[in-house]
């Protein structure tokens, strides 16, 4: 999947290399990190030839910056996730070290996948900052920060508050949140068990390798059995060695599942935004209602609800008619403003729901397609493993029967 | 299992006797005896060499009384003094008619004429005030004349097997007596009598009796017969009897053998046997450990796999489009689990017991070969041991070969089953895909 299917732009993006670098960090301490080479090619419509238009190096933290920016500016979009920062769900052989070449390679693929997802998204692909990420090596970080997106970001506290207090969120978003929780939980569980299964399978295969060594030593004292033992031993070695490639392939399958594990978080982010927007709306409506009531009370002189003003008025004497008029006037203005605000917030809210839901539908289709393919590729891997097994054991059986 | 009459001879006394003992065919006799003076490798099966003169020049054991001229015709030897049988097996009872012996004559071109079939099953727990123990049912079916009936059913406990083994060792100190399963397994045993332990022991006891039955000499041992046929009270009173005259003879043979340590000259054949046993013992022990480890790893793999399938079902509950695919994957994984279970049970039925038995054999042989370091005076014992040794080695090769061939077959079957499962999943998914594609077109 290297071509952007969106018809306006036909570009090919690849993260083609990874390189270890050393440099100085913000605290002027030396650090080692990995840089990734991003190459962009534009494809000519007529002859399909591609021309390298840009190539630059980026490190993981810059990818993170890009994504955080996208999250703030496109809260209604399910923003593609980045590959994991640290290796998780490892089984014993895989190193959890970020510098491990296998990990770096899988991360390179993950980063490429991220860029391709963004590039093929109908809305995200048009973003200027994304474009600059691909084309402007120097100064890009400053450019992003200049957008002031960090300030625009909703505080976690605010979001949490909204989650607890919102009264009437759209039912679909409630369901979506449940779904994303379930998805995250089930995929985590699956990845954990898969890692344990891989570990055990590794053990089974590798122990067979010991047969190879012992058969070989044993064959030295046997006359008739010697040859058979020796060659059978060789096949045991082959069998034991075959598990390495098998499990390496399975790692890619695990990565595909991991992407959707992280996508669950992106889904939750959209739900949170909705809750925030909705809560905002509800609060504004409440405020407006309160002001209207206050106004009415002042106008009619009835006190239906308890108010501090009302209390103090009772205690310290009523205000003058002029004062009261002034207050009513102010309230009426506020109410007008409030009504405007409410109207626009309502509109915002509905827009958000509409756009978000459109992207969620798009996401659902993508998810179903991708995960189905992943499951099929798992079956393909199992088939390949079985075929290898049949071959090795058939060879071994021949050797044994000739003993 | 080695066939009667296939491999070398096994006898305790002089060579002439052994000719009559078990109806070995000529070729196999030659295999054992016809060694060139230069002492080539002790293992040379096959090859039809005439009986060499070395037999006639062999010295006889002290206990030896009879001196028979070597006769190439087995049958004729058989038809001679039937008392030969007695001396050879050191048993107090006489075998019956020579005619019945003819049944046991085996020529290489004739099919297996097994006439003694033994099974060990139905372990049962017995509780007395003093102890708890397990007995095993032993069923013997035979066409042999010297047995009073054609079918016997008795119950024996492990102690009784130990008694039998001791008797066999006494009577045939230079033969390779099959091993018994261990008395107890120290590691990881919570209960003395858990089901796995009992089952493993039962299988091993079954093997033991069948090995004895298949052994050309041991099969006619009188204590063996009593073990298989005597009812409870008869058996326990027999056990109480002191060692008989002839078994005392057996003891003295052993004493002679053991007293003659200190090797002055070591025949080359024994050097080789020595060497072989040492290395074989090492290797078979390793193989045993490796095999046990494989079984353990497979068990743990199976445990994890059993958890793996259900997660896909759980997932399918949250999904719509993906639900069917996920459920199919779960079912494939479950089928592979069943195939794994089957493979494991095949492993524990065939390979593990065989390998372990040979571990026990090799332990025993390390000791027995002490007896092999004999002087010329007991050269017959040498020869007898050598003959039995050849036979044992051939059996071992066959057993190992078939155990490993069987393991390979189990593995092939396992992978074929899994392959079929996943391939049919793939087909179903592709079919669905085509269906959906054609639906879209409509």
* Contact by Cβ (8 Å): B104, B2: no
* Contact by Cβ (8 Å): B397, B5: no
The shortest CB-CB distance from A197 to any of B45, B290, B305 is to: B305
Contacts of A222 in chain B (CB under 8 A): 397
Interface of A with B in 154-193 (CB under 8 A): 179, 182-183, 186-187, 189-190, 193
For tokens 């056990």, the residue is: B239
Instruction: Supply the DSSP string of A154-215, one letter for each residue.
Output: PPHHHHHHHHHH-S---HHHHHHHHHHHHHHHHHHHHHHHHHHHHHHHHHHHHHHHHHHHHH
Cross-chain Cβ contact A204/B301 below 8 Å: yes
Alpha-carbon distance A268 to B343, whole Å? 45
pLDDT the model gives residue B383: 66
The closest alpha carbon to A279, from A156, A163, A170, belongs to A163
Task: Quote the tokens at residue A208.
Answer: 């067979």
Contacts of B29 (CB under 8 A, 6+ apart): B8, B9, B19, B51
CB pairs below 8 Å between A and B: how many?
A: 138
How far are the Cα atoms of A68, B187, B329 from residue A352, in angstroms, in the given order? Answer: 19, 67, 37
pLDDT the model gives residue B291: 95
Q: Touching check for A383 and chain B: CB below 8 Å?
A: yes
Contacts of A369 (CB under 8 A, 6+ apart): none
* Contact by Cβ (8 Å): A104, A211: no
Burial code of A99-114, b = ≥16 C-beta within 10 A, e = fewer? Answer: eeeebbebbbebbbbb
Alpha-carbon distance B411 to A390, whole Å? 8
Cross-chain Cβ contact B419/A390 below 8 Å: yes
Cross-chain Cβ contact B412/A394 below 8 Å: yes
Contacts of B322 in chain A (CB under 8 A): 368, 371-372
Nearest residue in chain A measured CA to CA from B293: A207
Alpha-carbon distance B167 to B247, whole Å? 8
Nearest residue in chain B measured CA to CA from A190: B311
pLDDT the model gives residue A94: 58
Cross-chain Cβ contact A375/B325 below 8 Å: yes
Nearest residue in chain A measured CA to CA from B305: A197
Alpha-carbon distance B139 to B136, whole Å? 10
Q: Touching check for A386 and chain B: CB below 8 Å?
A: yes
ipTM over 0.95? The verdict is: no
For tokens 């004895």, the residue is: B212
Cross-chain Cβ contact B329/A378 below 8 Å: yes
Edge-first strand order for the sheet with B116-127 is B116-127, B132-142, B151-157
The shortest CB-CB distance from B415 to any of A208, A389, A401 is to: A389
State how far residue B7 is from chain A, nearest Cα, in angstroms.
15
State how far residue B124 is from chain A, nearest Cα, in angstroms.
36
Nearest residue in chain A measured CA to CA from B425: A379
* Contact by Cβ (8 Å): B298, B305: no
The shortest CB-CB distance from B411 to any of A182, A214, A389 is to: A389
The closest alpha carbon to B359, from B128, B101, B179, B198, belongs to B179
Q: Cα B377–B382–B386 angle (5° rounding)?
A: 165
State how far residue A210 is from chain B, nearest Cα, in angstroms.
7
State how far residue B74 is from chain A, nearest Cα, in angstroms.
29
To probe the interface with B, which of A178, A187, A197 has the most B CB atoms within 10 Å? A197
State the 10-residue block means of pLDDT for chain B, 442 residues long.
37 36 35 32 38 36 35 33 38 40 40 81 88 91 88 92 90 84 66 77 93 91 92 84 53 49 52 82 94 95 96 95 95 96 93 92 72 48 71 89 94 97 93 69 56
pLDDT in tens, A7-43: 345 678 889 888 888 888 778 888 888 899 999 988 7
Contacts of A183 in chain B (CB under 8 A): 318
* Contact by Cβ (8 Å): B137, B205: no
Tell me which DSSP letter residue B368 carries: H
Contacts of B290 in chain A (CB under 8 A): 207, 210-211, 214
The H-or-E segment that residue B261 falls in is none
Query: Using CA atoms in the order A114, A115, A121, A125, what is the torsion angle rounded to 10 degrees?
Result: 150
State how far residue B234 is from chain A, nearest Cα, in angstroms.
46
Alpha-carbon distance A392 to A388, whole Å? 6
Contacts of A203 in chain B (CB under 8 A): 297, 300-301
The shortest CB-CB distance from B283 to any of A207, A214, A397 is to: A214
The shortest CB-CB distance from B297 to any of A207, A228, A382 is to: A207
pLDDT the model gives residue B405: 94
Contacts of A243 in chain B (CB under 8 A): none
To probe the interface with B, which of A220, A239, A264, A372 has the most B CB atoms within 10 Å? A372
Cross-chain Cβ contact A376/B318 below 8 Å: no
Q: Is B331 left (phi over 0), alpha (psi -120 to 50) or beta?
A: alpha
Contacts of B308 in chain A (CB under 8 A): 190, 193-194, 197
Contacts of B418 in chain A (CB under 8 A): 382, 386
Task: Quote the tokens at residue A112.
Answer: 């490429």
pLDDT the model gives residue B440: 61
Average pLDDT over chain A, rounded to an integer: 87
pLDDT the model gives residue B183: 81
* Contact by Cβ (8 Å): B216, B4: yes
To probe the interface with A, which of B419, B420, B429, B431 has the most A CB atoms within 10 Å? B419
pLDDT the model gives residue A353: 94
How far are the Cα atoms of A298, B22, B201, B208, B238 from residue B118, in angstroms, in the given order? Answer: 109, 19, 16, 10, 21
How far are the Cα atoms of A27, A34, A99, B333, B420 from residue A23, in angstroms, in the given order? Answer: 11, 10, 15, 48, 54
Q: Touching check for A232 and chain B: CB below 8 Å?
A: yes
Q: Is A25 left (phi over 0), alpha (psi -120 to 50) or beta?
A: beta
pLDDT the model gives residue B390: 83
The shortest CB-CB distance from A386 to any of B325, B405, B418 is to: B418
Q: Touching check for A240 and chain B: CB below 8 Å?
A: no
Cross-chain Cβ contact A397/B408 below 8 Å: yes
pLDDT the model gives residue A95: 57
Give every residue of chain A whose pLDDT is below 50, as ranges: 1-8
pLDDT in tens, A44-101: 766 667 788 889 999 999 999 999 999 999 999 999 999 988 878 777 655 567 777 8
Cross-chain Cβ contact A223/B41 below 8 Å: yes
Sign of the dihedral through C-alpha A378, A107, A177, B306: positive
Contacts of B311 in chain A (CB under 8 A): 186, 189-190, 193
pLDDT the model gives residue B382: 59
* Contact by Cβ (8 Å): A382, A249: no
Alpha-carbon distance B108 to B28, whole Å? 9
Contacts of B283 in chain A (CB under 8 A): 214, 217-218
Using a 10 angstrom Cβ sphere, with 0-12 exposed, 13-18 middle and 19 or more buried, the burial of residue B345 is exposed
The H-or-E segment that residue B69 falls in is none
Neighbours of B157 (CB within 10 A): 15
Alpha-carbon distance A58 to A135, whole Å? 11
Task: Quote the tokens at residue A110.
Answer: 């993950």
Q: Touching check for A211 and chain B: CB below 8 Å?
A: yes
To probe the interface with B, which of A217, A360, A361, A390 has the most B CB atoms within 10 Å? A390
Using a 10 angstrom Cβ sphere, with 0-12 exposed, 13-18 middle and 19 or more buried, the burial of residue A32 is exposed
| Phi–psi pair at B5, nearest 5 degrees | 85, 10
């Amino acid at each position: 999947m290297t071509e952007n299917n969106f018809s306006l732009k036909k570009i090919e993006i690849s993260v083609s290399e990874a390189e270890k670098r050393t440099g100085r960090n913000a605290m002027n301490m030396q650090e080692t990190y990995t840089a990734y080479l991003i190459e962009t090619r534009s494809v000519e419509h007529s002859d399909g030839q591609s021309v390298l238009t840009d190539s630059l190096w980026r490190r993981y933290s810059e990818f993170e910056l890009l994504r955080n920016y996208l999250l703030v500016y496109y809260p209604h979009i399910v923003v593609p996730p980045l590959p994991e920062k640290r290796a998780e769900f490892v089984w014993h052989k895989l190193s959890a070290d970020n510098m491990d070449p296998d990990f770096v390679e899988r991360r390179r693929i993950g980063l490429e996948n991220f860029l391709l997802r963004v590039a093929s998204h109908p809305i995200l692909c048009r973003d200027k900052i994304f474009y600059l990420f691909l084309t402007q090596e120097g100064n890009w970080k400053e450019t992003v920060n200049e957008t002031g997106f960090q300030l625009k970001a909703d505080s976690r506290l605010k979001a949490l508050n909204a989650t607890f207090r919102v009264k009437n969120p759209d039912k679909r978003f409630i369901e979506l949140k449940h779904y994303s929780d379930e998805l995250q939980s089930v995929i985590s569980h699956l990845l954990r068990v898969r890692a344990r299964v891989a570990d055990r399978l590794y053990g089974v295969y590798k122990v067979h390798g010991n047969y190879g060594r012992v058969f070989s030593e044993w064959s030295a004292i046997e006359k008739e059995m010697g040859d058979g033992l020796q060659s059978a031993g060789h096949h045991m070695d082959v069998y034991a060695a075959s598990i390495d490639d098998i499990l390496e392939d399975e790692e890619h399958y695990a990565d595909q599942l991991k992407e959707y594990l992280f996508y669950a978080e992106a889904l939750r982010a959209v739900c949170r935004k909705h809750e925030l927007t909705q809560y905002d709306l509800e609060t504004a409506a409440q405020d407006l209602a309160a002001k209207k009531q206050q106004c009415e009370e002042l106008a009619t002189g009835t006190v239906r609800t308890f108010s501090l003003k009302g209390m103090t008025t009772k205690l310290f004497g009523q205000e003058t008619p002029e004062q009261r008029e002034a207050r009513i006037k102010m309230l009426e203005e506020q109410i007008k403003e409030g009504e405007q605000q409410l109207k626009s917030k309502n509109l915002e809210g509905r827009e958000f729901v509409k756009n978000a839901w459109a992207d969620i539908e798009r996401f659902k289709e993508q998810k179903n397609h991708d995960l189905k393919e992943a499951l099929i590729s798992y079956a393909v891997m199992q088939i390949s493993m079985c075929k290898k097994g049949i071959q090795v054991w058939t060879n071994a059986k021949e050797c044994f029967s000739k003993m | 299992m080695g066939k009667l009459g296939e491999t070398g001879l096994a006898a305790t006394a002089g060579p002439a006797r052994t000719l009559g003992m078990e109806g070995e065919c000529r070729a196999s006799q030659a295999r054992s005896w016809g060694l060139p003076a230069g002492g080539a490798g002790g293992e040379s099966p096959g090859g039809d060499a005439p009986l060499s003169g070395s037999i006639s020049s062999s010295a006889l054991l002290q206990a030896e009384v009879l001196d028979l001229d070597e006769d190439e015709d087995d049958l004729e030897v058989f038809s001679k003094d039937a008392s030969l049988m007695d001396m050879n097996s050191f048993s107090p009872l006489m075998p019956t008619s020579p005619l019945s012996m003819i049944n046991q004559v085996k020529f290489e071109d004739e099919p297996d004429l097994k006439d003694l079939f033994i099974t060990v099953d139905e372990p049962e727990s017995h509780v007395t005030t003093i102890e708890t123990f397990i007995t095993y049912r032993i069923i013997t079916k035979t066409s042999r004349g010297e047995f009073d009936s054609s079918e016997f059913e008795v119950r024996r406990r492990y102690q009784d097997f130990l008694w039998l083994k001791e008797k066999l060792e006494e009577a045939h100190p230079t033969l390779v007596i099959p091993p018994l399963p261990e008395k107890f397994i120290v590691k990881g045993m919570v209960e003395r009598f858990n089901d796995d332990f009992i089952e493993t022991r039962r299988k091993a006891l079954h093997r033991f009796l069948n090995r004895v039955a298949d052994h050309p000499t041991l099969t006619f041992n009188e204590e063996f017969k009593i073990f298989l046929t005597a009812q409870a009270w008869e058996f326990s009173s027999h056990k109480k009897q002191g060692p008989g005259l002839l078994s005392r003879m057996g003891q003295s043979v052993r004493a002679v053998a053991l007293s003659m340590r200190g090797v002055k000259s070591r025949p080359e054949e024994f050097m080789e046997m020595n060497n072989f046993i040492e290395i074989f013992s090492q290797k078979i022990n390793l193989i045993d450990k490796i095999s046990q480890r494989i079984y353990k790893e497979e068990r743990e793999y199976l445990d994890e796999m059993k958890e793996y399938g259900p997660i896909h079902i759980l997932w399918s509950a949250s999904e719509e489009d993906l639900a069917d695919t996920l459920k199919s994957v779960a079912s494939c994984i479950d089928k592979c689990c069943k195939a794994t279970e089957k493979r494991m049970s095949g492993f524990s039925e065939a390979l593990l017991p065989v390998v372990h038995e040979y571990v026990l054999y090799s332990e025993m042989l390390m000791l027995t070969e002490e007896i092999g370091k004999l002087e010329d005076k007991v050269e017959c014992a040498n020869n007898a041991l050598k003959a039995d040794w050849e036979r044992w080695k051939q059996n071992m090769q066959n057993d190992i070969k078939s155990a490993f061939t069987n393991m390979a077959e189990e593995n092939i079957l396992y992978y074929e089953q899994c392959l079929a499962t996943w391939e049919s999943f793939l087909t179903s998914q592709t079919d669905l895909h085509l269906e959906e594609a054609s639906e879209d077109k409509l």
